Every structure is written in structure tokens, then in C-alpha cells.
Amino acid sequence: MNKTDLVDPKELGKLEKRVRSINAMAKIHYTQNTHIEINKILNIGGFDLEHALDIDPHFLEPEYPFKWVGLYQLEQGIYELTNDGNQQKTINICILGGATKVNKKEIADETLEEAVLVFSDKERTVDNQSSIIIGKVLNQLFFSGDINPQRYYIEIKETGYYMLFTEHHPHDFELELRDSSGEIEPVGDYEYGHHHEHDDVTSVSIKIEGDLDPDRFNEWIGHLLQTRGPDIFRMKGILSISGVPNRHVFQGIHMLFDSEPDKPWKDEIRRNEMIFIGRHLDQQELVKGFESCLA
């Protein structure tokens, strides 16, 4: 983590927390002007897919910075988001929507990606009796712990469907969306976490011995991501590249991917191990395409 001399300890702590949320096992070095001993960052075997899966079997599953989404059908008017808890804490939320028609069975990928971008933005603090902004704004609700209940106001200007994204499950914070008649139940709710599953989200695992022709592989993976990138949530694996003495660690998200050299193969059997997580994946098609890349 470079340029640590340019931020105060509080901001540095927030950044470290965010890094830990992505990879709790990461070893963090604090540097200024990128000064660090080279042996601390090169050839350290910092990523081991098999080790990561041993520690967390859900490591390859898509993860989101929110745990719950509630879909509400709201009329024009003023609503309250209330908290009846007595603990001092915060929770990040955002509200997207306004559409007149939605698919109640699932949240569209584009909407999920839009929410991910919002949750990566700077928080806007919302105190008791203040208003929550609808749209691409990350609202951070502050619960003082000495006021019960606490109320946060939401103004709906157009009738439609709205999605409430919450950093944690509302039950953990005793959050309720209310109008003058009482609590409003969502017409749909969705949980996102290690144990959440979509019916049409599957994984395809490929394990093949031998070496890959780098040109064929680049051509195949490039075409795959151009045509199926939005459906591929995550890819990770170990590749054996023809003429290269080291294993290559491969990883990608949607249409972005990267690979980097890992430890030498030495006397091990050279092999390829990949896993794809995504929607509507065709295992036979992926395996056949991968096999066509063998040297």
C-alpha cells in the first residue's frame, strides 16, 4: 500500500478494511515512494488457488459489497426507514429504480453492477431525521444508540419499483421501510452471500494435462469473453503454457482477465485447471474450446 504518508491513519484504516474485505489473507506492506525490499513482493507464492479453496470453498463464487436487496413497489410520497436498535453503528445503503416494470424473480446483472459501483464510492453520512438520496449515492446511516426509534426519510417522486441495497441484512439492524399505514413488505427480496445461489448460475471446472499453445489460447479466450463476457462472473485457474517453465495463474471477471507467472513446474505433471462461474454456461462447449488450445 503505497503513498501512506499522504493520508491520515483513519483513512488508511478504512482502506485496509476494504482490502481485507476483498482478501482477508493478504499481507499488506505500507510504503512511501514505493520503497520496499524486492524479495517481499516477488516470488513469494502470494496466491495459491488450491490453498484458497481449502480455506474458503466458496472463494470462486461471485461476491458483492451488499448482503440484501429488497424490491418495493412504491407510490409517490414520503416514506421512513426506521431503526429500533439501541447500538451505535453504521450501515451503507443505496436505493435504485423507478422502473414501471421489473423481473421479480431476479435482479438484472446491469443493476447489480450499477450497485457495485455505488458501493465503491465515498459514503454520504445520513443522521437521524435526515433524508436518504435516491439514485447513485451511497448513503451511510448513522445510528447513535441513544435515540429509539431513529427515522430516515425517503421521498418518492415517481410511482414505480425501487430496489433497496443494504450492506448487511436489515434484520441485523432492525430496519423497516414504513409509510403512514405501517411497515411495507418487499414484493421480492434477494440475499447475496456465500450461501446464496441463483438457479441459472453454475460453475464449470476443467482439468486437462498437457501444454497450451499461447496463440490459440489467447484467440479462444478473447473470443469467449467478447461473446459471453457479461455471463461470466469469475474465472480462475492454473495454466501450463508451452515452452514456459513456470505455472501461470489466470483470473478474470466478466470481460477482464489477466495471468501472471507462478512457481516452476519442476517434476510435477504439467496440467491445466480452470473454473468458470457464470450464467447459462455450456460445459461441453467450454471443454471443447479449451481442448482446442492444446499444443
Give the tens place of pLDDT for each residue, 96-124: 987 878 877 777 777 888 888 888 788 89
Is 96 in contact with 163 (CB distance < 8 Å)? yes
- Predicted confidence at residue 197, as pLDDT, reads 43
Q: Which CATH number does the domain 198-295 belong to among 3.20.20.70, 3.40.109.10, 3.30.1220.10, 3.40.50.720?
A: 3.30.1220.10
Is 94 in contact with 145 (CB distance < 8 Å)? no
Report the run of H or E that residue 96 belongs to, with start and end.
strand 89-99
Separation of alpha carbons 295 and 293, rounded Å = 6
Q: Which parts of the chain have pLDDT scores under 50?
A: 194-199
Separation of alpha carbons 259 and 211, rounded Å = 15
Residues of the chain with CATH 3.30.1220.10: 198-295
* Sheet of 201-209, strand order: 201-209, 271-279, 232-239, 246-253, 256-264
The pTM for the full model equals: 0.51
Is 138 in contact with 119 (CB distance < 8 Å)? yes
Task: Name the residue among 178, 176, 154, 174 with its Cα closest to residue 87.
Answer: 174
- Give the residues across from 261 on adjacent strands: 248
CA 252 to mean position of chain CA atoms: 13
Tracing cell 441484512 back to the chain, one arrives at 169
Instruction: Tell me: cis bond preceding 149? Omega within 30 of 0 counts.
Output: yes
- Predicted confidence at residue 161, as pLDDT, reads 94
- Predicted confidence at residue 199, as pLDDT, reads 44
